[in-house]
Structure 1
Amino acid sequence: MGSLIVGVVLVVAALVAALYVGYRQENTAAVVNTAAAVALVFVSAGAPVALGDGQPSRVAALTLWVAVAGFLHALGMLGRYDSVWWWDHLTHTFSAALAAALLYAALLVIGWHNAVALTLLGILFLGVLWEVGELVAREVADWYDIEPVLVHYGWRDTALDLVFDVVGAALVVALDLRLFVPLVEWLASAG
């Protein structure tokens, strides 16, 4: 577990550096998205404090995954989405795999027999919600004449984002990744 914590600390330091770079570049979207990533890392890390310390290694693994996903997205907002053609595919696959691992674990814990199909459909649904959020963010930004905090690159990009969301979920279910099953069981029993 010690190496997981070291990993979290290193990635959080990288997130703080990305936050500073976004601030220095006056890149509002990068600052907002990176600050949100840092907040999510602290929320996931704070779970054992709020709920009791039942699965610290699983919480550390979750926190590291959240931190890396946030860092990849932060780098994207700092320019990788525009300069590296596959960066958006990587971030969607990685983030969708995280959401799928949590959803898959929850479905397994509650005993749904079709957890694989529901995980794939659930991640597709979440992906659609994310894409709608990008559209709404753009419209709100246009309405107020401000920089959008999420960028919509067009319908082709939306379709590819959804494909890579499903790829991330498919990897989780194909590998039968049950990393978070004990954490979800513990959360279910603690609540």
Structure 2
Amino acid sequence: MVEATALAISLQTGIFVLFLVAVRRRNVAAAINAAGAFVLALLPAVAEFGLQIVLARSVAFGPVLPVWLGAAGFLHSLGMLGLYESTWWWDHLTHTVSAALVAALLYAGTIVALPVLLGVDGSGPAAPVTVASTFAIGVFWELIELVAREAGERFDIEPVLVHYGWRDTAADLGFDLVGALLILATDLRVFVPLVEQFPVATGAVLLGTGGVVFGGSVLMMVGLGSAMRA
């Protein structure tokens, strides 16, 4: 526990250092990405504190989530400073690590929430739901990158997220699936104790996330189609 906490703090510090490097280089996109990664890395600690005040009881997020968020954020922030362009496999690594985190949370959430939402055992549907949902979130992210590129070109500003072409998009989605399949192959249920503390809220978050991903993807595809025809 102590070692994991120290590792999480080290990764958070590393992300903040990368943010300072990006600011010094006047790399706006890298700075914004590092700032976002830093906020996400701190989110479990902030949520623990906030929920303890709101619910008046101790809420344990555990050591794994902060470390995983920190690792994913550090790898992405480092990539934004040049490794995405100079190291061909870096993008594959970051997508696999990030997608595995998303899949692990979805896997645990499905196992815990389906009995609450539908009154059925969530272990059976967990695998297909995890793969499909991870892929859908990957598509959602790739569409955000496309929108960022279009916005950058239209307003002549540096995009916060960079789109490297359709071949790269296909590879990204492929490694998103690799991350999800790694979770299923190892039957990794490390986040089940976390989401079991909030079974009803977990179900609501899963449904809300699904609505945002589906609705947002449709809106972005319509918008991109209109932009391309203009």
Normalised by the size of structure 2, how large is the TM-score? 0.79
SS in 1 for 2:198: helix
| Contact 1:55/1:182 (<8 A) preserved | no
Write the mapping of 1:1-191 to structure 2, written as runs, cut at 5 A.
Answer: 1-52=1-52, 53-56=58-61, 58=62, 60-110=63-113, 111-112=121-122, 113-188=124-199
Q: Give the whole-Å Cα distance in 2 for the aligned partners of 1:41 and 1:96.
A: 16
Shift of 1:160: 0.1
Aligned length: 189
Q: What amino acid sits opposite 2:60 in the alignment?
A: Q
Shift of 1:4: 1.2
Shift of 1:190: 7.8
Segments ≥4 residues shifted beyond 6 Å: none
SS in 1 for 2:196: helix
Partner of 2:117: none
More deviation, 127-136/45-54 = 45-54
RMSD: 1.4
SS in 2 for 1:178: coil
Which entry has the higher C-alpha Rg, 1 or 2?
A: 2
TM-aligned CA distance change 1:78 to 1:55, over 3 Å: same
User: Percent identical across equivalent pairs?
Assistant: 49
Any unmatched runs of 5+ in structure 2?
53-57, 114-120, 203-230
TM-aligned CA distance change 1:189 to 1:131, over 3 Å: closer
| Contact 1:101/1:178 (<8 A) preserved | yes
Normalised by the size of structure 1, how large is the TM-score? 0.95
Q: Give the whole-Å Cα distance in 2 for the aligned partners of 1:54 and 1:29.
A: 35
| Structure of higher RCO (CA pairs closer than 8 Å, 6+ residues apart) | 1
| Contact 1:51/1:190 (<8 A) preserved | no
Cα offsets for 1:103-126 (capped at 9, x unmatched): 000001123221101100000000
| Contact 1:12/1:67 (<8 A) preserved | yes
Q: Give the whole-Å Cα distance in 2 for the aligned partners of 1:51 and 1:178.
A: 23
Any unmatched runs of 5+ in structure 1?
none
